[in-house]
Amino acid sequence: MDYKLKKLKLNKKLILSLVSLIIIVILSIALSINSVFNKKFEQYIIRNNENEISNIIDSIRSKYVNGKWELSSIQQIGEDAISNGIFVDLYDKDSNLVWGAMTYNKNMCHMVMGSIENNMNYMINKNKSNYTEKLFEIKNLDNEIIGNIKIGSYGLLYYMDNDVDFLKEINKVITSIGIVMVLITIFIAILISNNISKPVEVVSNMANLIGDGDYDNKIDYDSNIVEIDVLIKSINNLSAKLEEQENLRKRLTTDISHELRTPLTSIQTHLEAMIDGIWEPDTERLNSVNEEVIRLTNLVNQLQNLAKFDSEKSKLNLAKVNVKNLIMNVVYNNQGKALEKNINIECDLESIDSYLDKDKISQVIVNLLSNAIRYTNNGGKIFISSYKENNNLKIQFKDNGIGIPKENIKYIFERFYRVDESRSKNTGGIGVGLTIVKSIIDLHQGTIEVRSELNKGSEFIVILPNL
Ligand code: ADP
């Protein structure tokens, strides 16, 4: 048999389990109530019949007045007794029959006996009693025997029609309560299972939509189960993150193709002009082509950096690093670029040892210093300092370059964001340098502050917990 055939939908499974559980509970309760009730009822019947017999004997005794039996009253008592399943024969002290149930009304006796037997069959009683007769002596107040009474009955436990009717009524009530409870339970089970299965279905549909790349829909479902709410929130977050990644991927493709197209077109036009003999392939023209190739290489390197950073994002290799040496190294390596623009780099570095990811913090310094060089005009100044403050390590990069307009400052850490597209084109940046800086600082649980004024200069301060 196919295993999958056995699988049920969540709500059906929940309804089935809940309903079967409740039916079992209700059945056990009903059976226990029934059995306890029957026991108590049996005891009540026995007590009742005992009382009835002793009442009959007392009543008959009181009907012996002045040495004679009051026959009409005894007949009344005997008749009532028959209808209660008790068959009385009264004998005088000489054992002569004064009044006998059978002799009085044989048909009535047989009818009552028949119905008692029927009732007992209906009760399916294990202690089914047989018809028995018992003899009681009747004495007057002086303790003289005035006669005998023979009482015939089906033991002490037998049921009359009204007893059986009463029991039937009780059973009907128990059954109706049981049925009503089962119906209520089915209703509640459906509610509960829908409450659980509906959001699961919504979440699963949403997951399918996400799988198909449809991130616009958000799950707008308010369940009353904490775990389901958390699940819905996570799915919505997942969808938002995937959408963000998808948009980023699209932007990346457009940005990269845009960035690559400009130098490639320039190289192509230059080369075509040289091939067609319009331009002489002199040093100046070849240099210009070479510059575009360098720009391309630079772009590709930055993309590679970003890709590398993305793949190793969460890994930090902490080790004791001398921050002064680290900064000096980067400065030496960038001195050439600064000299090209006649930029003076000044340093005031404290010798601080700190636990950092050397490569990653080195990347932060490289990016911030390159930006300072890139966005500072010829003959400008860059000041780098590092110091300890409030248990933090601070590295400051200050330039007197072109600055950033106030309204743009909040965007500069976003991927591919550049303040001035045309301006950055000449500088070779693609807008990922500060994104990488920010992520590395976040990983170190640090912060970065920016102060900048257009045409006056910028200041970036990296603040890292000094471990
Ligand atoms: P890019 O590769 O374009 O330099 P970044 O992410 O490093 O990208 O920087 C984002 C933008 O922030 C830059 O395009 C530039 O406009 C601005 N910027 C960064 N550093 C400076 C700075 N020192 N002076 C002026 N503008 C800066």
Compute, in angstroms, the gap from residue 367 CA to the centroid of ligand 1: 9
Compute, in angstroms, the gap from residue 380 CA to the centroid of ligand 1: 16
Q: Are 458 and 375 in contact (CB under 8 A)?
A: yes
User: At which of 309, 332, 362 does a domain end?
Assistant: 309
CATH number, domain containing residue 100: 3.30.450
Closest residue (by CA) to atom 21 of ligand 1?
Answer: 371
Closest residue (by CA) to atom 19 of ligand 1?
Answer: 371
**Residue 45 phi/psi, 5° resolution?**
-60, -45
SS3 91: strand
DSSP structural state of residue 319: E
What mean pLDDT is predicted for residues 449-461? 95
Closest residue (by CA) to atom 14 of ligand 1?
Answer: 418
User: At which of 281, 309, 337 does a domain end?
Assistant: 309
Residue 199 domain-assigned (yes or no): no
Can you give the pLDDT at residue 448? 96
* Ligand 1 closest atom vs CA 403: 25
β-strand partners of 354: 321
CB count in 10 Å sphere of residue 310: 10
pLDDT digits (tens, 9 = 90+) for 8-25: 777 788 888 888 888 898
**Protein residues whose CB sits closer than 6 Å to any atom of ligand 1:** 367, 371-372, 375, 399, 401-404, 412, 417-420, 424, 429-435, 458
The per-residue DSSP string of 97-157 comes to EEEEHHHH-HHHHHHHHHHHHHHHHHHT-TTPPPPEEEEEEEE-TTS-EEEEEEEEES-S-
Q: Are 368 and 462 in contact (CB under 8 A)?
A: yes
Confidence of residue 380 (pLDDT cuts 50, 70, 90): very high
Pocket test for ligand 1, best of 365, 375, 414 (most atoms within 8 A of CB): 375
159 or 59, greater pLDDT: 59
pLDDT digits (tens, 9 = 90+) for 32-56: 888 888 888 888 888 888 898 899 9
Q: Provide the sign of the torsion angle of the four alpha carbons 384, 389, 391, 392, taken in this order.
A: negative
Compute, in angstroms, the gap from residue 344 CA to the centroid of ligand 1: 19
Closest residue (by CA) to atom 12 of ligand 1?
Answer: 412
SS3 344: strand
Same domain, 18 and 115: yes
CATH number, domain containing residue 271: 1.10.287.130
* Ligand 1 closest atom vs CA 435: 6
Whether pTM exceeds 0.85: no
Pocket test for ligand 1, best of 371, 377, 384, 408 (most atoms within 8 A of CB): 371
Same domain, 152 and 78: yes
Same domain, 291 and 383: no
- What does the alpha-carbon distance between residue 24 and residue 428 come to, in Å, rounded to a whole number? 77
DSSP structural state of residue 85: T
Pocket test for ligand 1, best of 434, 438, 452, 456 (most atoms within 8 A of CB): 434
Can you give the pLDDT at residue 1? 44
pLDDT digits (tens, 9 = 90+) for 428-439: 667 888 988 998
Same domain, 303 and 326: no
User: At which of 289, 309, 329 does a domain end?
Assistant: 309
Task: Provide the residue range defining the domain that includes 247.
Answer: 215-309
Same domain, 304 and 320: no
254 or 70, greater pLDDT: 70
Compute, in angstroms, the gap from residue 242 CA to the centroid of ligand 1: 27
Pocket test for ligand 1, best of 376, 412, 458 (most atoms within 8 A of CB): 412
Contacts of 430 (CB under 8 A, 6+ apart): 255, 259, 299, 302, 303, 416, 418, 424
